[in-house]
Amino acid sequence: MRALINKFFAQLGVWGWTALVLIPFFFIMLFGTKDTSDIYGRPLNLLYKPQWSNFSSAWNVGGVQGAIGHWFINTGILVATALFVSLVVAVPAAYFTIFLPPKANRRVMVTVLSGTVVPTILLVIPYFKAYNQYHMLNKPIFAGLAYGVLAIPTTFLLMNRFFLDFPREVLEAGLLDGLSNSKIFRKLVLPLSVGQIVSVGILTLIWAWGDSQIAIVLLQSQESQPISVGMLSFAADFTTNLGATFAGLSMAAIPPVILYIILSKYVTKGIALGGITK
Amino acid sequence: MSVKNESPSKEVSTSSTQGRNLFSRKKKARIGLNAINIRSARFTLIPVFVLLFVFLALPMINSVKLSFSRWGGLGPLEAVGLNNYKFLFSDPQMRYSSRITIFYAFTVAFFVVAIGTLLAAAVSANVRGHKAMKLIWFFPGIAPPTAVAIFWSSGFQPESGVVNILLGKIGLGNNHAWLASSDTALFPVIFVGIWSAVGFAFLVILGAVEQIPVSLREAALVDGANMRQQFTKITLPLIRPILMTIFTLEIIWTFNGFTVVWAMTNGGPSDSTSILPILAYKEAFRYGRFGTAAAMAVITGIFLMIVGTIGIRLSRSEQQ
């Protein structure tokens, strides 16, 4: 009997939390397709005529033609740069570091690890100063560079841990076959590490896609803003056109969620592996 | 972190025992593998350290330098000694912001770990639908923080907000203007902070729970323990180190958190939700006082270092 009651409360708890998690996604989609007067008048009514024009007014938010489109492009440039920088720099280093004597490997790891706990606020003011000085402000590619470098420690640590457990026999077999060391890395190791690289890359992608603290400082002009910063102007728009606001929110929030559902295997693995080091 | 520290030493032992058993040809191969790759390691580590120096170490040094100066965004720095710090220590807003930042970070971290642990316990007990739930619970961690923060900030508006609509339906009134009053604005912010961070903590904690051998829990069941006892007597003690670590990290991340609070309130009304990163951001980029802003950032950094060190120490000692 006791066990049954426990089980009942556990079940109630998880359903409750699931509902709480889904509320925003449900209402973003519901209100995003509703007429604004309907949102005020009969917000919970589920039988209504979808108002698709919300999406076109959201697309041209603030009277700028295709504003959201520009934000998506800027976010794309930023995220792609960040991924490129962090992976190209950190993955080879993480691989070759495993051949260092264990003590040196550990010293490298601790040094890199200290980079994961630096508060962002300590960085953004000097970034602004330096970017301003070298005319790098308002360019998504340079903001992406900063995100990429800040993602290097996590990428390095997770990949290093993965490569340490990599079967050495495979590498030795490659050497006996006369492959050079860089060829072993490119032809043998990389193809076998795709899953891990995707997992780690997704952690970087989620972060760079959503963060606004660095972008708001380095990308101040309207045309250079990524979606995480551009959307802030929605917040001012609540009362005038609620429907369009929610349509905009759903355009920003739904694609990552769909991407996540498709790639969830990698995401969960990436977090289980490295949750602690992020 | 402590888990990671073990792996290199583990590597030594396995490679040396293997090395002894290998044929000499393979041994030679291993030596070749190491010698040439050590050069590659040095070569590939150079860009890592150069970039980390330029984007982490250098800015930190510059922040400290800036915190002893006056700078309006243009021209050279003007040294002012300890003035910025002296000003901040007597500034009531700085004191208020420090207090709410600590309150905000600890409250969010506590609830995130507590809820995450309960959810992990439920899933490991195979509640119905746990596979789908595992997927759904991470949605808040995946959606852009700006978007969810804007949604919730609209949701907490009186009458038109979803939260108020739902409360109205169950008879609790639909015109709570939490975000409009400086007495209550912090609570919706804390709620959203928890809401968006639980998914991540849950997955990490679940990972730890699933590493506990099933036989251990089965043994407890055979001994007549019920579900709750099994959780408090077996699961909880075994995952305590990881809970400690994730608690520390949540404090650091929430302390650092900017996006959720900024998108919900801009730090308002009248700076009642201006946690330190927001106060520093405004100080620099609204009021052009980069020197005081840098001093705030340095104080934040020192505090985080203390929290981080204590947290890591605690979780280490737990593990032993």
Do the beta carbons of residue A88 and residue A80 sit within 8 Å?
Answer: no
Contacts of A258 (CB under 8 A, 6+ apart): none
Place of tokens 């949750």: A275
Residue A135 φ/ψ region, left for φ over 0, alpha for ψ in the -120 to 50 degree band, beta for the rest: left
| B219, β-bridge pairs | none
Is residue A22 a contact partner of residue B137, using CB atoms and an 8 Å limit? no
What CATH number is given for B83-319 in this structure? 1.10.3720.10
Q: Classify residue A5 by burial, with Cβ atoms within 10 Å: 0-12, 13-18, 19+.
A: exposed
pLDDT value at position B190?
Answer: 95
- Could A21 and B136 be called an inter-chain contact, meaning their C-beta atoms sit closer than 8 Å? yes
Q: Average of pLDDT values for B90-100? A: 94
ipTM value, please give it: 0.88
A82 in B contact zone (CB under 8 Å): no
Q: What percentage of chain B carries pLDDT values higher than 70?
A: 88
Secondary structure (3-state) at B79:
strand
Residue B293 has pLDDT above 90, yes or no: yes
Nearest CA in chain B to A260: B142
Measured in angstroms, the CA of B208 and the nearest CA of chain A are apart by 8
pLDDT-wise least confident of A152-156, B12-16, B59-63: B12-16
* Fold entry, domain A2-274: MetI-like fold (1.10.3720)
Three-state secondary structure call for residue B70: strand
Of A223, A222, A224, A231, nearest in space to A250 by CA: A231
Alpha-carbon distance B139 to B196, whole Å?
A: 8
- Would you state the pLDDT for residue B319? 61
Instruction: Please compute the mean of the pLDDT values over residues B269-281 and round it to a whole number.
Output: 92
B69-97: average pLDDT: 90
Q: What confidence category does residue B18 fall into, taking pLDDT thresholds of 50, 70 and 90?
A: very low
A252: nearest CB among B41, B147, B294 = B147
pLDDT band, residue B7 (cuts 50/70/90): very low
Domain coordinates in residue numbering, chain B = 10-58, 83-319
Which residue on chain A is closest to B128 by alpha carbon? A11
Residue ranges of domains in chain A: 2-274
Residue B198 is predicted with a pLDDT of: 95
A89 touches chain B (CB under 8 A): yes
pLDDT at B92 over 70: yes
Answer yes or no: do A161 and B125 touch at CB < 8 A: no
A176-190, A196-210, B68-82, B98-112: which is most confident: B98-112
pLDDT mean over B215-222: 78
Nearest to B119 by CA among B234, B191, B203, B225: B203
What's the distance, CA B217 to chain centroid?
30
* Buried b / exposed e along A161-184 (16+ C-beta atoms within 10 A): bbbbebebeebbebbeeebebeeb
pLDDT surpassing 70 at residue B102: yes
Mutation choice for A interface testing from B18, B150, B281 by most A CBs within 10 A: B150
**Beta bridge mates, B69:** B79
pLDDT for B318 equals 65
Rounded to an integer, what distance in angstroms lies between the CA atom of residue A179 and that of residue B43? 19
| Per-residue pLDDT at B27 | 52
pLDDT in tens, B134-157: 899 999 988 999 999 999 988 898
Whether residue B106 is predicted with pLDDT greater than 70 in this model: the reply is yes
> Does any CB of chain A come closer than 8 Å to the CB of residue B95?
no
pLDDT at B194: 96
**B133, B144, B204: residue with CB nearest A253:** B144
Instruction: Name the residue with higher pLDDT: A271 or B320.
Output: A271
Task: Write phi, then psi, for B308 (nearest 5 degrees).
Answer: -60, -45
Splitting chain A (278 residues) into consecutive groups of 10 residues, what average pLDDT does each group show?
76 92 92 81 78 81 77 94 96 90 84 81 92 93 96 90 84 84 88 89 89 93 89 69 85 87 82 55
- Environment class of residue A62 by beta-carbon count within 10 Å: exposed (0-12), middle (13-18) or buried (19+)? exposed
Portion 221-260 of A in contact with B at CB < 8 A: 227-229, 231-232, 234-235, 238, 242, 245-246, 249, 252-253, 256-257, 260
Mapped onto helix, strand or coil, the DSSP state of residue A185 is: helix
Q: Give the residue from A108, A121, A159, A164 with the most B CB atoms within 10 Å of its CB, the best one to mutate.
A: A121
Query: What residue in A sits closest to B46 (Cα-Cα)?
Result: A93
Give dist(CA B262, CA B275) in Å, integer.
Answer: 9
pLDDT of B14 > 50? The answer is no
Model confidence pLDDT, tens digit, residues B224-268? 777 777 788 888 888 888 888 889 889 988 888 899 999 999 887
Answer whether B50 touches A (CB < 8 Å).
Answer: no
A-proximal residues of B, 176-235, CB under 8 Å = 195, 198-200, 203-204, 206-207, 226-228
Which pLDDT belongs to residue A14? 92
